[in-house]
Each structure stands twice: as structure tokens, then as C-alpha cells.
């Protein structure tokens, strides 16, 4: 068989070829088994004959029976109980002449009674009453002739080895055993035991029928399984393969796999997973294209300013103006550097988060740790800002979430850094942890100016910033990075202004609780 064909063929072909090979192997062993059944049964039947032959030989030796017709017939009459389970027993002399046959006794029914009453009947009267010659002729005309078998046996090199013959004669299956009768090591003649053994053929036929029924049942099961395998497993897999090829070759998106999305088995799970992966793949492509376009646009603005300032700087000699131009150039360089740094960091964060293994994390411990670090740094600053932490409606329970600890720390640090940058001198920032509708809730509020935008959610867009006076210090990616990390953790983030008399921004983060 071509191995390349086998390795490249479909699972169904491999399955059918494998089963065909198994069937061929089983067929060979079945053929050998069936061929061995009949000989074994014949051999076992012949063993029973051998026991009868041995007992007969012992009786002949003990009674010193002479191998003549009269003596042989008299012996069969007197010892017929030895052959009551057999169909036919014959005695032959060394010249292959028939001496006595139990079939002859069966034809002379009156002799059986007389033989029980008369034990000393002379050979002449017995011969006369039985009419042996007439009976022998009748036997030969009604039963099969074993003389040829005896002649065949007499020509064997070792006549001590029995001859076993099995043939179908007159629509009956016969097992015939021929062996020599010896006295004191001298062969005196031959004994032939014949038995109708149709039960052997019946046993062989029963085994054949059982095996054929079994093979048919197995073939039917394999056929049904093959249809099931092809329809419910292989066909959907082929559709999914075509779907992935279409994606790879940038072909029109095919929808043949969509009918498998509703299935609740492994094929349905694979279809949904592949569909989600494809959608995420296209989403990432679109995101990368949009991000690259936005990044190019953001870099183009400071580059234009940088180019203009450098041209003016080259043509001016006013020292004050040159200082201003140098400051503009420095500002634009910082802006470009910040954009590239934050963009690179964002890509690294997404890649590392996709590879990182999420674990069970106590969110309150993370919040306390980050706030403690910020308060330590704020002590050395001149803004006199204090960050306060409150844990709401926890009742002593732990606020556990599933995530990456370093990324959760990054979320809280970015939000606190954003709040600090907007907070005025001598102000406070409030951090509250709690539970909201079976989700972990994190709220950060500052006392800054709040948001002026009508659509506050746009602050999470890439390259957004409302700090024109220190624009070079911020790339506009901070809140967008926070949003991406939160969404990768299965959470959400929202922004609003504080209600009532309080001023300032309010950021709310929701993450799934992990029990």
C-alpha cells in the first residue's frame, strides 16, 4: 500500500482501510479455524472408535478367536454389546476378505433371540440358520463397500497405525477407522468401525453460520458507525478546514460552518471556538490597522511642528526666539518619544497578558499595596495629596478576582496617576472597593475639574488627551491601555463626573468575582 496515500487520505478512508485489513486478517484466521474444525471433530470421533477397537482386540486375544467367517460371526454375536453405540463394525482377514459385518446381524433379526437361548449351536446349524452368504450379498447391495479402504490400509508401511477416513456416502457423512487386530504381536486381521457422523457436519455448519452472522453484524455496525463518523464528525471537520483555508487565502468568508455553531458537542465547541478566534483575529487586524493609522497621524503632527521649528531656527538669529524654537523642538521630540514608548509598551502588555496564566487574586490586597506606594511618593511631593481607601459591603469576605496581579497593579497605578495629575493642591483621592451585582467594584474619585466632554467615554479612545499645556508628557494611550487590560480580564470601565456639589472625576471598574 502506498504510505503517502495512506498518510494523506481522509480519516474515513483510513478507518475503512484499517477495518478492511482487520477483516482480511480475521478472514484468514476464520478460514484456517473452519478448516481445522472438521478434522479435529473427526479425530475426536476416531479416538472413540480406537477405544472400541482396543477392547475388541483384547476380547479376540482373550477368547483366541480364529479369523474365519464362522468364528468372526460368532464373536460379533456374542460381543455385540461392545458395538451398541456404533453403526457398523466389520472384521477382515489379512487378504482383505470380509469375514463378519454387524449389518449382516441387523438383517437377521431372528438370530438375536436365538443367540440368547442357544450357546452351543454348532457352526453348521448356525450357518444354515443364518444363511450367511445370502445376508452378506444383501449387505453389500444395501451398504457401502469398505474393501478398498482395507486394501489401502494393508499397503501402509506401518499397519499398526490406524487409518481414518471421512467421506459422504449415500447422503450421509461417515467416519471410518481401520486398525489391525494382533495377538502376541502377530497381526491376525483388520477391524473396520464405521459411524454416521452427520452431527459433525451440523456442528461445522453451526459454527460457519455463527461466524457469518457475526461478520455480518460487525460489518453492519462498522457501516453505521462510518455513516455517523462521516456525517457528524468528518463532514463538519471538512467544513471547518475549508473555512480556515478561506481565511488563510483571504477568500470570501464562507458560512457553511455556521450550522454547527448550535451543536452542544465537541464539534459545536470547536466551531464556536474557531468562530470566536476568527472574529478576534479580524478584530486584531482591524485594531492594528486603525492603531497604525492613528499612530502615524499622531506622529505626523509633532513631526510637522518639528520640521517647521527647525527651518525657522535655521534662519533666525534672535536668541529669545531661538530658545522658544528649541523648546518647541524639545517638546515635539518628547511627544514622539512618548508615543513610541507607550505604543511599544501597550503591544508588550497585550502579548504578555495573552501568554500569562491568570490566578485567583485578592483585589483589596492589590489596591492597598498600590495605594501605599503612591502615598509614600506623594509625601515627598509638594502637592499635599492624600489617597484614602475604603472597603464597602465586604463583611469580612475577600474580594477575589481571576487575573494577572502585575496587570491589575498597572490598572490601579494608571488610574491613580491620572487622578493625581488632575488633582489640585491640598486635595484628596478616594478609592473604594466593594461588590456590585455579583461583580468586584473599584471606584476612584478625585477633586479635580472633572470632564468637560459631552461624551465622556471618548477619554478611553487612543491618543486622547485634554492637556494641551503639557501634551508632551502624555501620549493619550494611558486610559486606552487600562481599558484593554480590563476587557482582557472580562471586566468593564466607565467614567463620569461626581454628582451634587462635589467636583471631580469618577472612574468605575467592574471585574468578575472569582469564587
Q: How does DSSP assign 111-152, residue by residue?
A: HHHHHHH-SS--HHHHHHHHTHHHHHHHHHHHS---HHHHHH
pLDDT tens track, the chain, 515 positions: 454 544 555 777 777 788 888 878 888 888 888 788 888 888 998 898 888 888 888 888 888 888 888 888 888 888 777 777 778 888 998 888 999 888 876 544 444 344 434 344 454 544 544 454 554 444 444 467 888 888 888 887 676 688 888 888 888 899 999 998 887 778 888 999 988 889 888 988 888 888 888 888 888 888 888 888 888 777 888 877 777 777 777 665 555 567 777 777 777 887 888 888 877 777 777 777 777 777 776 777 778 877 887 878 777 777 777 788 888 888 778 878 877 877 777 777 767 766 778 899 999 999 999 999 888 888 877 778 899 998 877 777 788 999 989 889 989 998 998 888 888 888 999 999 998 888 999 999 998 888 877 778 778 877 665 544 443 345 567 788 888 889 888 899 999 888 776 788 899 999 999 87
Check residue 159 and give its pLDDT.
64
CB 164 within 8 A of CB 174: no
**Cell matching residue 186:** 502377530
* Residue 505, beta-bridge partner list: 497
Dump strand ranges (E) for 144-234.
163-169, 172-183, 186-196
- How many C-beta atoms surround the C-beta of residue 82 within 10 A? 16
CB 267 within 8 A of CB 273: no
Check residue 432 and give its pLDDT.
92
Bridge-based pairing of strands 186-196 and 172-183 is antiparallel
Q: Residue 261: which of 238, 234, 236 has the closest Cα?
A: 236
For residue 276, report the phi and psi dihedrals to the nearest 5 degrees: -65, -40
Dump strand ranges (E) for 301-455.
359-362, 386-391, 400-403, 428-436, 439-445
**What are the chain's domains?**
3-204 (3.30.450.20), 261-355 (1.10.287.130), 357-515 (3.30.565.10)
The helix (run of H) or strand (run of E) holding residue 63 is helix 11-63
CB 193 within 8 A of CB 52: yes
CB 458 within 8 A of CB 451: no
Cβ neighbors of 144 (< 8 A, separation 6 or more) are: 169, 170, 174
For residue 114, report the phi and psi dihedrals to the nearest 5 degrees: -65, -35
Report the alpha-carbon distance of residue 38 to residue 33 in Å, rounded: 9
Report the alpha-carbon distance of residue 193 to residue 153 in Å, rounded: 13
Residue-by-residue DSSP string for 35-58: HHHHHHHHHHHHHHHHHHHHHHHH
**Cell matching residue 98:** 470380509
Burial class (CB in 10 A: 0-12, 13-18, 19+), 73: buried
Check residue 472 and give its pLDDT.
39
What's the pTM value of the predicted model, to 2 decimals?
Answer: 0.48
Check residue 158 and give its pLDDT.
72
Q: Sign of dihedral through CA atoms 249, 251, 255, 256?
A: negative
CB 90 within 8 A of CB 191: yes
Bridge-based pairing of strands 98-101 and 505-512 is unpaired
The sheet with strand 186-196 has its strands ordered as: 98-101, 88-92, 186-196, 172-183, 163-169
Instruction: Give how far Cα 196 sits from Cα of 163, 176, 316, 318, Å.
Output: 17, 9, 131, 134
- What's the DSSP call for residue 382? S
Instruction: Give how far Cα 338 sits from Cα of 156, 431, 473, Å.
Output: 110, 28, 7
Check residue 327 and give its pLDDT.
81
Contacts 24+ apart (CB under 8 A), 117-125: 123/70, 123/74
CB 474 within 8 A of CB 480: no
Check residue 105 and give its pLDDT.
67
| Rg of the Cα atoms in the chain | 53
Amino acid at each position: 500500500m502506498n504510505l503517502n496515500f495512506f498518510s494523506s487520505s481522509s480519516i474515513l478512508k483510513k478507518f475503512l482501510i484499517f477495518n478492511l485489513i482487520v477483516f482480511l486478517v480475521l478472514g484468514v484466521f476464520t478460514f484456517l479455524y473452519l478448516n481445522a474444525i472438521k478434522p479435529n471433530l473427526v479425530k475426536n470421533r476416531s479416538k472413540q472408535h480406537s477405544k472400541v477397537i482396543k477392547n475388541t482386540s483384547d476380547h479376540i486375544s482373550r477368547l483366541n478367536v480364529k479369523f474365519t467367517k464362522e468364528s468372526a460371526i460368532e464373536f460379533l454375536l456374542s460381543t455385540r454389546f461392545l458395538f451398541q453405540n456404533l453403526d457398523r463394525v466389520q472384521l477382515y482377514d489379512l487378504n482383505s476378505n470380509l469375514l463378519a459385518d454387524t449389518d449382516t446381524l441387523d438383517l437377521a433379526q431372528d438370530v438375536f433371540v436365538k443367540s440368547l437361548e442357544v450357546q452351543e449351536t454348532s457352526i453348521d446349524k448356525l450357518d444354515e440358520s443364518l444363511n450367511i452368504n445370502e445376508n452378506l450379498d444383501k449387505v453389500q447391495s444395501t451398504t457401502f463397500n469398505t474393501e478398498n479402504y482395507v486394501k489401502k490400509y494393508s499397503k501402509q508401511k506401518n499397519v499398526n497405525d490406524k487409518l481414518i477416513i471421512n467421506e459422504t456416502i449415500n447422503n450421509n457423512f461417515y467416519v471410518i477407522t481401520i486398525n489391525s487386530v494382533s495377538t502376541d504381536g502377530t497381526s491376525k486381521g483388520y477391524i473396520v468401525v464405521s459411524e454416521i457422523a452427520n452431527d459433525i457436519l451440523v456442528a461445522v455448519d453451526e459454527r460457519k453460520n455463527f461466524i457469518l452472522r457475526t461478520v455480518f453484524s460487525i460489518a453492519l455496525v462498522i457501516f453505521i458507525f462510518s455513516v455517523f463518523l462521516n456525517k457528524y464528525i468528518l463532514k463538519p471537520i471538512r467544513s471547518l478546514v475549508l473555512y480556515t483555508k478561506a481565511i488563510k487565502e483571504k477568500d470570501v468568508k464562507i458560512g457553511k460552518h455556521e450550522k454547527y455553531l448550535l451543536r452542544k458537542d465537541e464539534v459545536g465547541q470547536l466551531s464556536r471556538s474557531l468562530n470566536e478566534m476568527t472574529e478576534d483575529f479580524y478584530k486584531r487586524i482591524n485594531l492594528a490597522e486603525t492603531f497604525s493609522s492613528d499612530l502615524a497621524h499622531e506622529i505626523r503632527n509633532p513631526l510637522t511642528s518639528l520640521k517647521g521649528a527647525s527651518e525657522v531656527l535655521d534662519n533666525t538669529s534672535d536668541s529669545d526666539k531661538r530658545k522658544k524654537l528649541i523648546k518647541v523642538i524639545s517638546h515635539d521630540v518628547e511627544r514622539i518619544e512618548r508615543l513610541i514608548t507607550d505604543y511599544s509598551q501597550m503591544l508588550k502588555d497585550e502579548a504578555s497578558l495573552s501568554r500569562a496564566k491568570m490566578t485567583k487574586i485578592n483585589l483589596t490586597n492589590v489596591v492597598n499595596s498600590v495605594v501605599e506606594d503612591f502615598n509614600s511618593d506623594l509625601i515627598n511631593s509638594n502637592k499635599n495629596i492624600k489617597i484614602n481607601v475604603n472597603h464597602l459591603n465586604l463583611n469580612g469576605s475577600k474580594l477575589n478576582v481571576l487575573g494577572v496581579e502585575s496587570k491589575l497593579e498597572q490598572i490601579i497605578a494608571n488610574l491613580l496617576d491620572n487622578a493625581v495629575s488632575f488633582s489640585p493642591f491640598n486635595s484628596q483621592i478616594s478609592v473604594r472597593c466593594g461588590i456590585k451585582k455579583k461583580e468586584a467594584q473599584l471606584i476612584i474619585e478625585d477633586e479635580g475639574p472633572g470632564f468637560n466632554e459631552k461624551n465622556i467615554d471618548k477619554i478611553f479612545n487612543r491618543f486622547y488627551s485634554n492637556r494641551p499645556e503639557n501634551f508632551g508628557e502624555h501620549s493619550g494611550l494611558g486610559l486606552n491601555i487600562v481599558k484593554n487590560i480590563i476587557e482582557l480580564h472580562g471586566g468593564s470601565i466607565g467614567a463620569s463626573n461626581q454628582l451634587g456639589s462635589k467636583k471631580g472625576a469618577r472612574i468605575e471598574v467592574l471585574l468578575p468575582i472569582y469564587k
